[in-house]
Amino acid sequence: MSNVLVKLFGFPATLIHGDTLVVDRWIWIKKRLPLNKKGPEIKLLDVGCGSGAFTIGTALRGYKSHGLSWDERNNSVATERARLCKAGTASFSICDVRYLDKEKDLVGKFDYVVCTENIEHIINDKKLMIDMNNCLKVGGKLLLTTPNFDFKPMYTDTKIMPDPPVEDGGHVRIGYTPDDIHNICNASGFIVDEISYCSGFLSQKITSILRFLTVKVHPLVGWAVTLPMRILPPVFDPMIKYTGFSICLVATKKAV
């Protein structure tokens, strides 16, 4: 069904297979990633790209975008969706981002690195930041989102983490504060340009409904019920003061 929607509606359909928070992250990225008119020499790396929505979206904005995922099925889905969306400058490969430093052909090649909701899954988050820094050219930009330490739990969220943390696909930390972000950037060769937040009140509440219905009834019921609500968060969430689910970072690679 998912690829049927992509065939019918193109790239926007890649954003609505998951929860509403995915759309929020794309809106945040899009505002900070201008349309590229310089040609495919401007390269972008999507670290932990999942099924490739943001890799495809950035390719359609003119970037030569390469997505990394550890999952072969995700890469297969992403490659097919890129074809359907006519995102000819999108490509994908298998990589466990915990070992990004082993990908020597990626070092110093990219103008942008995008990493959304991945670093909270990695115990050695400092190493991942250093490895992403190494993939950038000097002056290159990192666009990163990760859970806000102060987020308010939704239906299936918890603020109880395993102790010691275990890299089993779940989160290994609750989230990050602005101080955490500054500290990890300082330790990994980045200058902080901007810290902001995304995914506000309506987005979180709609996602809670989606997750509740997915668990209690059926995933298709959750998706169908919440689909008409998805137009609301981009319009109204900026007007509502509420703790953002994700903390968002733009950072620049320091000159050596």
* Structural domain that includes position 131: 2-200+244-253
Task: Please give the chain's pLDDT, 256 residues, in tens.
Answer: 568 888 888 999 999 888 899 999 999 999 999 998 887 789 999 999 999 999 999 999 999 999 999 999 999 999 999 999 999 999 999 999 999 999 999 999 999 999 999 999 999 999 999 999 999 999 999 999 999 999 999 988 888 888 888 998 889 999 999 999 999 999 999 999 999 999 999 999 999 999 999 999 999 999 999 999 999 999 999 999 999 999 999 999 998 7
- Residue 123: inside a domain, yes or no? yes
Q: Is 217 contained in some domain?
A: no
Which phi and psi angles does 129 have, rounded to 5°? -60, -45
Would 135 be classed as within a structural domain? yes
Q: What is the pLDDT of residue 52?
A: 96
Predicted confidence at residue 7, as pLDDT, reads: 87
Residue 224 lies in a domain: no
CB 184 within 8 A of CB 159: no
Q: Residue 150's pLDDT is what?
A: 96
Compute how many other C-beta atoms are within 10 angstroms of the C-beta atom of residue 168: 8
3-state helix, strand, coil in the chain (%, to 5): 45, 20, 35
CATH (domain of 144): 3.40.50.150
Residue 254 has a CB neighbour count (10 Å cut-off) of 14
The DSSP code for 43 is: E
Q: How far is CA 249 from CA 43, 53, 81, 105, 195, in A?
A: 19, 19, 27, 26, 5
pLDDT confidence of residue 1 = 56
State residue 128's pLDDT score: 98
**d(Cα 105, Cα 101) in Å, to the nearest integer?**
10
Total domain count, the chain: 1
Residue from 48, 114, 54, 61 nearest 81 by CA: 54
Show the tokens assigned to 147.
């859970």
Q: pLDDT at position 58, please? A: 97
pLDDT for res 39: 75
pLDDT score of 2: 64
Inside any domain, residue 220: no
- 111 within some domain: yes
230 domain residue, yes or no? no
pLDDT score of 164: 85
Q: Is residue 23 part of a domain?
A: yes
